[in-house]
Structures are given as C-alpha cells and as structure tokens.
Amino acid sequence: MAKHSIWHFFAAAGLSSQLLAGTAPTLAAEVPVEPGKPSRVGPPNFTLPFFLLNTHIMIDGTVNGKKGRFLFDTGTEFAFFLNNETLPLAKDQLVAKGHTGSGQAMAIYRQKLPIAELTMGRQLRFTELQGPLHTGWGFLQEAYGMNSFLGSVGHAFSRNYQFTIDYDQQTIAFQALDQPGSLSLGTFTADDIVACIEFTPSGVDGKIPEADLQIGDQVITGFFDTGNPGSLELTEASRDQLIQKGLLTLSASDYAYGSYGPHQNAHLKGLRIGQVALADLRNLTFRTGQRNRLGLGYQFLKHYISVWNAKTRTITLLKR
C-alpha cells in the first residue's frame, strides 16, 4: 500500500506513518464510500477559505451545531469521516477494527441516525447525512494540538466539483460538476497554464490521481494528495544515479514539521513532465524502497495554483 495522505503526518508527530497500513484497503472494500447521499443546500459554485496546519488544509465547519475544523484530504475515500472523540456519535455498527503502526487501537463505526446538518464555511450546508462513518481521531487531534477536530473531508466529496486550490490566498474555489454548461478557469488565461496533467485514477474509488513524471532519464510515478506534505520513494539504483547526477540531495534531521523525530529529507531538482520543467522540491520525506514514487502534496502544490477535475481526469497547474 502506498503511504500517502494524512498518514505521513503521524511520523512527524511521533506516530507511525504506517497507520492502518495493510488493513486500509480491506476496510475500504468493506465500507461503502457513500453510505447515504446528503442533500446539498447552497450555490453550485462557492469558495472556502482555509488555513494551514503542518502543511494540511483545515476548513472551519460544524456538525449538528458543534463548531470545529475539517481536514481537506483528497487521499481519503470517504466524503466525511468524523471524529467521535469530539462529536457525540453512536457506535451502532462496528464496521472494522485495526491498529496504528505505533500500537493505537482504531475502530470504524457507523451511526444509524443521520447527521441532521453539516456545514463548511459560510456557504455550504448538507442535511440528512445518512449512515455517518466515524472513528476516534484523538491521537491526531492531540498531534494537531486542537480539541475541535471534526474529521476529514475526502474524495467522495471533492470528486463532485472542479476545485481550484490557491495556497497564497488560502482558498479553494469549487464549481459543481452536475451543473449545465462548461466549467472555466475563472480569471486565468491560457498564458497562465504551466501544464495540464492527464492522470490515471488509482486507489479505492480512484481517489489518488497518478501521472508519470521524469527526473533526468528516470521515470517516476507522481501521485497527487492534499494530505501528503511531500514524499519520495526511490529504488537504490535510482537513488544512487540521481545523487551522482546532482539531481538529488539527501540530509538527515532530528525534526520534521515542528516535532522531534529522525527524518530523512530529500531535495529534488530537474523534475519535468514531458518537456515542461516543474519546480524544484525541498523537504520531501525520503525512503529507499522497491519503486519510484513521488508524493505531490504540499511541497509541490504550493508552487502553483492547481485546478482538479475528476470528470476530465486532469489537474491543471497555473502560475501563481
């Protein structure tokens, strides 16, 4: 299983990045991604402001009137995956059990009663969210240093929109895909486009967009995920070759994203897609493995305004 999404943060927070590794695909196969479609109340196009916490996108919201913050994580398959240590949710059905890599027990439950109302920002409201899934996110809540973590918002939500992430403005602009007519890039023009990347959906329900990139004469699979700070896995041969060519620099650190813990950083130069040169990347979490994979999370996405569209299977990179 590829390590991605919020699991990368656990290593930086003194928790294992192997959380649910090996069990997550089984859980996902057994749990319907959308146990019940909520009714959306609000305009088809809207913008949500966000703030960054350890590279992660956090959005203000409420669940049945309880105020807090959601993690916007495109690498999580569920539309809403709630935190039962903040919210009074009934454990009516045990869906699955597992353990984190560092030993914490984790169980996924479903509540029979619907969530009456869930809001995000000032514009978006969902009513009658059927069969809400939830777990105890206490360890993540502690790592974030907040007591109002509501849970995550994932792929089964975001796939319904073309959405534009702007890390400078700290906004995500959404355009619903179910409205008539074509969608636009807003005020951006063709001259603003750095690259339009056609991706292959991978993972549960196609939640992870993947595309082949190049570094020197090496081909590497890049995967896009807002919950990934930035990661790099290379085979020994590829690692040694890129170091020899001056395209890869590795360094050890005792810190990562504000926390103590051994960490190997990678600085990557010469990344491109086709003939289009892409930004150099720093502070990638590095490991030597069996394949070449690059996590295109915060350390990559912050260099661009990115437009995601699951329907056309494209991610368009725009100049900042």
How far apart, in whole angstroms, are the C-alpha atoms of residue 54 and residue 144? 8
* Domains of the chain by start residue, with CATH: 7-174 (2.40.70.10), 189-318 (2.40.70)
Residue 95 identity:
V
How far apart, in whole angstroms, are the C-alpha atoms of residue 45 and residue 43? 5
pLDDT of 13 reads: 36
pLDDT of 251 reads: 96
Secondary structure letter of residue 2 according to DSSP = -
Q: H-helix or E-strand containing 208?
A: strand 208-215
Q: Which residues of the chain have pLDDT under 50?
A: 1-4, 6-33, 35
pLDDT of 4 reads: 45
pLDDT of 277 reads: 96
Residue 281 identity:
L
pLDDT of 139 reads: 81
Residue 136 identity:
G
pLDDT of 256 reads: 81
pLDDT of 37 reads: 57
